[in-house]
């Protein structure tokens, strides 16, 4: 169970504590408190920053709830911080980011009602009590006033025993319809469990089983499902998070293609190891998510992958990788295997792999024949894919067409063919960079001799 940090007894002590744990948020918190006092408007720290403060963890985001005109407060804070503001009037929220990298979400205290399960909520102004009641888990339903008209010292507003649940290591929902209203909270819970060392309580696990049994995930919009799945794949340890979701019966409830077992774990392990290698440019954000999603469904039929892409309404690049990329990789791998070892000269291999994208090559190296072996080098398709990534695709000649013209070549196709021949020799390692010009002269001399015959 987590060891909790004692709550600071006043605002100064709170800011001092934030400065120790989260230096990026403390200045914004101080300015927000000063503005709230000047506007005579109660403003509260809520959610993750309060939870992380009690856990003694750094928080890079700041959630503020305003008991009053949230938009006016947000505009005032943006002016003080001299940063742009995005307002969302439908949800009575706004967001901004400080130069130090702190994201600040500001909302008027509000209540929510869900017209039907998994739909977006209808919001309306409400008291702080209702605002906290609408949240996902008790540990995220605590608040600390930056300014209140009672002028009391900073104190924890904890109406749902979030502090006690933190101490016990539990994630507890605030009402029985929580997961019905918003099933994405289940994916969030799995990430919280891993990141915070907490665990859904037994009652919450039973509610998850009910959501799975009633296929509530099917009612989620494509955008919301894609966003939450992307956040899960982009988390620090997606494989462990998916282990937990699979144990809860959730992964296949998201889509039949998303079965999760030892084969999928192994593919994730191989791909993430490659992505972490220092030689590979780090894939972050959407690019990494698309790679992991493709590795997840690597062995599913094309029709199933296409159905998944439709369900998630994937962007064009991610969709192409998922639906077409796996087949392109398989075709390229088969082409290399049918050539036979004697014909696998690097220049030939590079020609066979030239049409594959960088992401397709990474997947080929991670998952094609020969992948996962410590000696995954040529002549296996996985080994050749790595050599194409690390060496062949980026090979640049030290000479150019201008150098060939200086030797005596005439502009035209012969010049391009000569450069390609020299590049092939470099790929085959039959010449070095220093020998490129000599090879060009030799080709020119041989060409001249043929013309004179």
Taking every pair of Cα atoms in the chain, the longest distance, rounded to a whole number of angstroms, is: 104
Q: How high does pLDDT run on average in the chain?
A: 88
**Together in a domain, 183 and 216:** yes
Rounded to an integer, what distance in angstroms lies between the CA atom of residue 159 and that of residue 143? 9
**Together in a domain, 26 and 115:** yes
pLDDT band at 370 (very low <50, low <70, confident <90, very high): low
Per-residue pLDDT, averaged over 96-108, amounts to: 90
Q: Which domain-ending residue is among 129, 148, 168?
A: 168
Element (H, E) at 197: none
**At residue 429, does pLDDT exceed 70?**
yes
CA-CA-CA-CA dihedral for 81, 82, 83, 87, to nearest 10: 80
Q: Is 359 a member of any domain?
A: yes
Q: What is the pLDDT, as a whole number, of residue 172?
A: 96
Q: What is the pLDDT, as a whole number, of residue 339?
A: 80
Q: Is 173 a member of any domain?
A: no
- pLDDT above 90: percentage of residues in the chain: 59
Helical axes 11-21 vs 23-39, angle rounded to 10°: 150
Beta-carbon contacts of residue 89 (< 8 Å; ≥ 6 apart): 71
Q: Is 214 a member of any domain?
A: yes
Query: What's the angle, vertex CA 49, arms to CA 44 and CA 55, rounded to 5?
Result: 125
Q: Is 5 a member of any domain?
A: no
Q: Is 125 a member of any domain?
A: yes
Question: Are 51 and 140 contacting, i.e. CB atoms less than 8 angstroms apart?
Answer: yes
**Together in a domain, 132 and 204:** no
**Together in a domain, 188 and 301:** yes
**Together in a domain, 248 and 378:** no
Rounded to an integer, what distance in angstroms lies between the CA atom of residue 86 and that of residue 77? 12
pTM (predicted TM-score)? 0.85
**Together in a domain, 18 and 156:** yes
Closest Cα to residue 425, out of 349, 367, 346? 346
Q: Is 162 a member of any domain?
A: yes
Q: Which domain-ending residue is among 351, 368, 392?
A: 392
**Together in a domain, 262 and 304:** yes
Strands (E), 57-198: 61-66, 86-88, 93-97, 103-108, 110-113, 122-125, 143-147, 170-171
Q: Which domain-ending residue is among 293, 319, 345?
A: 319
Domain that holds residue 297: 179-319
**Together in a domain, 310 and 329:** no
* CATH code, domain carrying 156: 3.30.460.10
**Together in a domain, 187 and 303:** yes
pLDDT in tens, 190-205: 999 999 999 999 999 9
Closest Cα to residue 96, out of 142, 66, 64? 64
Q: How many domains does the chain have?
A: 4
Q: Is 6 a member of any domain?
A: no
More confident residue, 279 or 22: 22
**Together in a domain, 212 and 307:** yes
Rounded to an integer, what distance in angstroms lies between the CA atom of residue 46 and that of residue 67? 12
Question: Are 8 and 14 contacting, i.e. CB atoms less than 8 angstroms apart?
Answer: yes
**Together in a domain, 201 and 307:** yes
pLDDT band at 374 (very low <50, low <70, confident <90, very high): very low
Closest Cα to residue 47, out of 176, 235, 188? 188
**Together in a domain, 377 and 405:** no
In 22-95, which ranges are continuous DSSP H helix? 23-39, 48-55, 70-81
């Amino acid at each position: 169970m987590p060891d909790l940090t004692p709550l600071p007894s006043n605002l100064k002590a709170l800011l001092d504590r934030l400065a120790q744990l989260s230096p990026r948020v403390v200045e914004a918190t101080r300015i927000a408190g000063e503005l709230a006092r000047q506007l005579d408007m109660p403003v509260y720290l809520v959610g993750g920053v309060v939870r992380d403060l009690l856990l003694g963890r750094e928080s890079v985001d700041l959630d503020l709830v305003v008991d009053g005109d949230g938009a006016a407060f947000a505009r005032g804070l943006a002016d003080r911080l001299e940063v742009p503001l995005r307002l969302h009037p439908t949800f009575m929220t706004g967001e901004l980011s400080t130069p130090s990298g702190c994201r600040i979400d500001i909302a008027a205290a509000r209540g929510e009602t869900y017209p039907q399960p998994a739909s977006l909520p209808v919001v309306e102004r409400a008291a702080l009590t209702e605002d906290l009641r609408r949240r996902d888990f008790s540990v995220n339903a605590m608040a600390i006033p930056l300014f209140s008209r009672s002028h009391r010292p900073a104190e924890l507003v904890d109406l749902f025993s979030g502090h006690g649940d933190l101490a016990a290591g539990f994630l507890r929902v605030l009402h029985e319809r929580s997961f019905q209203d918003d099933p994405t909270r289940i994916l969030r819970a799995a990430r919280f469990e891993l990141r915070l060392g907490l665990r859904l309580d037994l009652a919450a696990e039973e509610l998850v089983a009910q959501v799975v049994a009633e296929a509530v995930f099917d009612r989620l919009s494509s955008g919301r499902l894609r966003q939450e799945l992307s956040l899960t794949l982009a988390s620090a340890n997606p494989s462990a998070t998916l282990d937990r979701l699979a144990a809860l019966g959730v992964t296949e409830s998201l889509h039949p293609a998303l079965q999760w077992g030892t084969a999928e774990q192994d593919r994730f392990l191989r791909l993430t190891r490659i992505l972490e290698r220092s030689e590979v440019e780090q894939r972050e954000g959407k690019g990494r998510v698309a790679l992991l999603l493709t590795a997840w469904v690597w062995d599913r039929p094309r029709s199933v992958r296409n159905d998944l892409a439709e369900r998630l309404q994937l962007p064009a690049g991610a969709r192409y990788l998922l639906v077409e990329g796996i087949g392109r990789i398989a075709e390229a791998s088969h082409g290399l295997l049918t050539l036979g070892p004697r014909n696998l000269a690097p220049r030939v291999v590079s020609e066979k792999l030239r049409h594959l994208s960088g992401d397709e090559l990474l997947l080929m190296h991670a998952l094609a024949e020969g992948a996962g072996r410590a000696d995954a080098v040529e002549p296996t398709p996985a080994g050749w894919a790595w050599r194409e990534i690390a060496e062949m695709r980026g090979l640049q000649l030290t000479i150019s067409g201008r150098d060939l013209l200086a030797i005596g070549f005439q502009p035209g196709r012969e010049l391009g063919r000569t450069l390609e021949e020299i590049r092939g020799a470099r790929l085959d390692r039959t010449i070095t960079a220093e020998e490129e010009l000599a090879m060009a002269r030799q080709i020119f001399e041989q060409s001249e001799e043929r013309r004179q015959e």
